[in-house]
Amino acid sequence: MGKTLTFLGIESSCDDTAAAVVRLSSGGRGEVLASVVEGQEALHAGFGGVVPEIAARAHAEKLDLAVEAALASAHVALADLDGIAVTAGPGLIGGVLSGVMLAKGLSAATGLPLVGVNHLAGHALTPRLTDGIAYPYLMLLVSGGHCQFLRVEGPETFRRLGSTIDDAPGEAFDKVAKLLALPQPGGPQVEAAANAGDAKRFRFPRPLLDREGCDLSFSGLKTAVLRARDEVIAERGGLTLQDRADLCAGFQAAVADVLAEKTRRALVAFPAPVLAVAGGVAANSLLRARLETVAAAAGAQFLAPPLRFCTDNGAMIAWAGIERFLAGGRDGMDLSARSRWPLDQAAAPMLGSGKRGAKA
Ligand code: KG4
Ligand code: ZN
């Protein structure tokens, strides 16, 4: 096969400042030479969510350091690179702009090709980087900002089979944690509490299961948890640890039920050989187990890339940049940062914008 390609990837669309160096071997496989992710959790901790202005400033301060660290750790100089890939959207616009401006500066200074990448394409193409899988496959993206089923057919060919009409599941986990006075990010906390809980004590709704298709909704579920919590407090004067565990278990079971059933339907609509997941919520053990069962029943392989490549990172952007570059994709100094950028332009736009920014 052809020559190797080495790309720098830059990601700054939410609350992770990330840079990575990825090499495509002559055999066609990707290798992550370095991946640096600097989270901003401490900066936003007191605000109950990501504050866009704080995120943008932190990205502007830290991005060039992340790039330097990634290049040093990969033992790669700017002159060894074949291109620069950067998230150009969707996301919080100030952060995306920081990344795009840095990438343009580097490209102008070095003459290296510039490739703008859709953040969601980065997530969606990750299983090709980590596991070398072939097109087509089904991707379930479940994070704090995104929730959608994608039929992935090529580096720039995606069909959205369904998505959330309100909150993303990670956002719901985080809000439930907040309601129960658990620390952020809430997903791991809710999961840990749920392990000691009885999922049957509170019967929460399974939103949109009565509606055909693969669209999802999580905001009503969070409200149901709030009501159940208030009822317990009104009856007993407070919440015991067991009450909290039972609320978490009931909520988690409802999320897993909904995602499992919608995934089953997505695999009927598109009988893919592989079901892959990405996003922080893919760390949830109950969800993984349920998805594995659904995939096996549909005769599909279940694939969950290592968590550090499931959550926001620069390697997925570098890889998506390489794939776009090989397909002829190039950008100039007119590359713009976009807060909204649906992968599937033909799909109807979804309403709603969560705390983590515009949904695509
Ligand atoms: O992909 P990610 O790191 O960031 C973006 O949202 O882009 O996902 C973070 C989300 C948070 O909402 C977090 O609460 C959730 O993933 N999460 C989990 C678990 N671990 C992280 N949700 C449920 N169960 C988990 N074990
Ligand atoms: Zn993401």
> Does residue 312 line the site of ligand 1, with CB under 6 A?
yes
What is the pLDDT averaged over residues 138-146?
Answer: 94
pLDDT reported for residue 2: 67
Q: Rounded distance, CA 216 to CA 99, Å?
A: 31
Query: Is the pLDDT confidence value at 353 over 50?
Result: no
pLDDT reported for residue 74: 98
> Does residue 170 line the site of ligand 1, with CB under 6 A?
yes
DSSP state string for 8-41: EEEE-SSSEEEEEEEEE-TTS-EEEEEEEEEE-H
For residue 202, the CA-to-ligand 2 centroid distance in Å is: 31
The pLDDT > 90 percentage for the chain reads 83
Q: Which ligand is nearest to the CA of 173?
A: 1
User: Do the two domains 5-132+309-326 and 137-307 of this chain adopt the same fold?
Assistant: yes
> Does residue 356 line the site of ligand 1, with CB under 6 A?
yes
Could you tell me how far CA 328 lies from the centroid of its own chain? 26
What is the pLDDT averaged over residues 273-284?
Answer: 95
Mean pLDDT, the chain, as a whole number? 93
Query: Is the pLDDT confidence value at 252 over 80?
Result: yes
> Does residue 126 line the site of ligand 1, with CB under 6 A?
no
Query: Is the pLDDT confidence value at 336 over 80?
Result: yes
Q: Rounded distance, CA 296 to CA 300, Å?
A: 6
What is the band of 359 on the pLDDT scale with cuts at 50, 70, 90?
very low
Homologous superfamily (CATH) of 137-307 is ATPase, nucleotide binding domain (3.30.420.40)
> Does residue 283 line the site of ligand 1, with CB under 6 A?
yes
Which of 89-115 are b and which e, b meaning 16 or more Cβ less than 10 Å from the residue's Cβ?
bbbbbbbbbbbbebbbebbeeeebbbb
pLDDT reported for residue 348: 61
pLDDT reported for residue 14: 87
What is the pLDDT averaged over residues 14-36?
Answer: 95
Nearest CA to ligand 1 atom 18: 187
Give the global pTM: 0.92
> Does residue 314 line the site of ligand 1, with CB under 6 A?
no
Residues 6+ apart with CB under 8 A from 29: 132
Query: Is the pLDDT confidence value at 279 over 80?
Result: yes
Report the nearest atom of ligand 1 relative to the CA of 142.
1
**Which of 37, 118, 126, 173 maximizes ligand 1 atoms within 8 Å of its Cβ, making it the mutation to test the pocket?**
173
Domain-by-domain residue ranges, the chain? 5-132+309-326, 137-307
For residue 131, the CA-to-ligand 2 centroid distance in Å is: 19
Token couple for 33: 């030479």
pLDDT reported for residue 350: 62
Homologous superfamily (CATH) of 5-132+309-326 is ATPase, nucleotide binding domain (3.30.420.40)
> Does residue 124 line the site of ligand 1, with CB under 6 A?
no
More confident residue, 144 or 84: 84
Query: Is the pLDDT confidence value at 354 over 50?
Result: no
> Does residue 280 line the site of ligand 1, with CB under 6 A?
yes
The pLDDT > 70 percentage for the chain reads 96
Query: Is the pLDDT confidence value at 49 over 90?
Result: no
pLDDT reported for residue 360: 46
Query: Is the pLDDT confidence value at 352 over 60?
Result: no
Q: Rounded to whole angstroms, what are the CA distances from 212 to 38, 142, 160, 163, 167?
A: 40, 20, 15, 13, 19
pLDDT reported for residue 346: 81
Report the nearest atom of ligand 1 relative to the CA of 173.
14
